[in-house]
Amino acid sequence: MHNLYREYILEHYKHPQNFGHLHKKDISVDERNSTCGDTLHLEIRFNTQGSVEDIAFTGDGCAISRASTSLLTEAVKQKTKKEIAQLTHKEVYDLLGVPISPGRAQCALLPLQALRKVLQVDPQRKKL
């Protein structure tokens, strides 16, 4: 069973969803995992109701951080800022579907940290 999940993670690492840049974005943030060296640039656009209309990312990272970002960016589409604020570490781990060791937790949670940063950005500034 774990081999199936490992393949799932490798598939998201090699062919991540939402990788690239948005033509129009409301907010962009940068986040870094200093222990592993992962970097993440996240761009997001909200619709008029305040839900995520589109999201994209770029950056360099290990298989866990890239797969986690791919999965989480898919999961937050159409979610409101309030729903994003309520996301938990467990929900991110559940998306990955494999046990995450304490040493890899920061890799898995990097996109969640970036999303939380999005919630702190003044929409007039557009970048944090």
Mean pLDDT of residues grouped by 10 in the chain (128 residues)? 72 95 96 93 95 97 95 97 96 92 93 95 63
pLDDT attached to residue 31: 97
Residue 103, φ and ψ in degrees, nearest 5: -70, -20
Residue with token string 């898995």: 108
**Cα dihedral 63, 65, 66, 72 sign:** positive
pLDDT attached to residue 1: 43
pLDDT attached to residue 16: 96
pTM, two decimal places: 0.90
The CATH number of 2-120 is which of 3.40.1400.10, 3.90.1010.10, 2.60.40.10, 3.40.50.720? 3.90.1010.10
